[in-house]
Amino acid sequence: MGIQKLLFIAILVMGLSAFANEEVKAIRAKMRVMKEEVATLKKAKRIKESRALNKQWIALNHKALWLENNEQIKADIKAMDIQKPKKPRKVLIYSKTTGFRHTSIEFGAKVLTFLGEQSGAFTATHTEDAEMINHTELTKYDTIIMLNTTNNPIAKPEQRSAFEKFLASKKGLVGIHAATDCHKNWPEYLEAMGGIFDGHPWGAGAKVTLYNEDLDHPCCKHVPQGYVIRDEIYQYKDDKHFTRDKMRVLLSLDLNGPNMQKKNMKRKDNDYPVSWIRSYTGSRVFYTNLGHNETTFVDKVALQHMLSGIQYALGDLEADATPSAKIGKLPKAVK
């Protein structure tokens, strides 16, 4: 490629970047005005109008985040450790909510779809249509990603039956964040996912310190020991579903980190996993509690971790799922 052509491309990229920066400034300015309008509407108890306007604010925030980060995300993906798929892979991203709705859903779905495209690891379809959870439709996919689903997003018996049949056919299941905050009356789902939400002592603004329980494990070897990320972290009910006898914990919280001790921590064993894998009826399951905040989906370490977990679930990344208890993996001791 000639010097003149390279120079032209460089100038074009700089121009596009400058245009994007100006667009972001305009969007952020509009968002500040809208935020004030939302507050005014709430004060006047015009709740329906405030919610509608806040929804527009969220959409603008996602647009600004994408403009600010998409080129960096693309560069980060190029530098990632990617396993070549054994065959073309299809993933269904399901994000229906019938309870609390995370504002990061649409942005997260966009980034995960982009992650699949840019890495070549998979192609994704995003839906919130529960009618797609049927046997005929699910046979088209290798893995289902439950993205911040809440309450009861798969409600009909025939849909649950199709979901269970999918898992019994040696497929993949991925849970992102609130995937453990749903289906509390569906034992098979709870057993597959491995944990039930029991509060979040570490809120959305908390900076949490992660403990990598196996620095050589292919699903988490990219996460530096003591990595700090801002995200909301759950604790899980102490029951038959949540046990190291069944799941291989990858990441957990390092309670020795700064500001990690919280008043509403419930677990006497100090066991606060963040990510794990397990085998369930022949299928491969990966879950990570990361993903409450939009910014998590632009964090290159979190994205690599998600990609590795998804590729494990797809069957393209070989990884040891021997339960933690069988190999003596325990939470980091609290000093």
In a domain, 287, yes or no: yes
Shared domain for 40 and 90, answered yes or no, is: no
In a domain, 333, yes or no: no
pLDDT score recorded for residue 17: 55
Give the C-alpha distances (Å, rounded to integers) separating 174 from 26, 210, 250, 309.
Answer: 37, 20, 14, 8
Shared domain for 103 and 46, answered yes or no, is: no
Q: What tokens appear for 55 in the block?
A: 């929804």
Last residue of a domain, one of 47, 74, 101: 74
pLDDT along the chain (335 residues), means of 10: 53 52 92 94 94 94 95 97 98 98 98 98 98 98 98 98 97 98 96 95 97 97 98 96 96 97 94 97 97 98 98 98 96 90
pLDDT score recorded for residue 21: 86
pLDDT score recorded for residue 13: 45
In a domain, 80, yes or no: no
Q: Give me the CATH number covering residue 300.
A: 3.40.50.880
Q: What DSSP letter does each residue of 97-127 carry, written as one string?
A: BSS---TTHHHHHHHHHHHHHHHTS-EEEEE
pLDDT score recorded for residue 184: 94
Please, what sign has the CA dihedral across residues 155, 191, 214, 265?
A: positive
Give the C-alpha distances (Å, rounded to integers) separating 289 from 46, 115, 275.
Answer: 34, 18, 6
Shared domain for 298 and 175, answered yes or no, is: yes
Shared domain for 144 and 60, answered yes or no, is: no
Last residue of a domain, one of 74, 107, 124: 74
Domain span at residue 152 reads: 86-327
Instruction: Tell me how many domains the chain contains.
Output: 2
In a domain, 133, yes or no: yes
pTM of the model: 0.93
pLDDT score recorded for residue 335: 86
How far separated are the first and last CA of the chain, in Å rounded?
Answer: 59
Q: Which residues contact 61 (CB under 8 A, 6 or more apart)?
A: 31, 103, 294
Shared domain for 213 and 67, answered yes or no, is: no
Please tell me the distance from the alpha carbon of residue 332 to that of residue 335, in angstroms, as a whole number: 9
pLDDT in tens, 58-76: 999 999 999 999 999 999 9
Shared domain for 174 and 149, answered yes or no, is: yes
Contact yes or no for 67/26 (Cβ under 8 A): no
pLDDT in tens, 304-323: 999 999 999 999 999 999 99
Q: Which residues contact 307 (CB under 8 A, 6 or more apart)?
A: 77, 80, 82, 115, 119, 121
Shared domain for 70 and 176, answered yes or no, is: no
Contact yes or no for 212/227 (Cβ under 8 A): yes
Shared domain for 175 and 245, answered yes or no, is: yes
Shared domain for 13 and 44, answered yes or no, is: yes
In a domain, 335, yes or no: no
Shared domain for 90 and 66, answered yes or no, is: no
Last residue of a domain, one of 11, 42, 74: 74
Please tell me the distance from the alpha carbon of residue 15 to that of residue 9, in angstroms, as a whole number: 10
In a domain, 332, yes or no: no
pLDDT score recorded for residue 12: 45
Shared domain for 98 and 20, answered yes or no, is: no
Please tell me the distance from the alpha carbon of residue 71 to that of residue 118, in angstroms, as a whole number: 11
Shared domain for 134 and 281, answered yes or no, is: yes
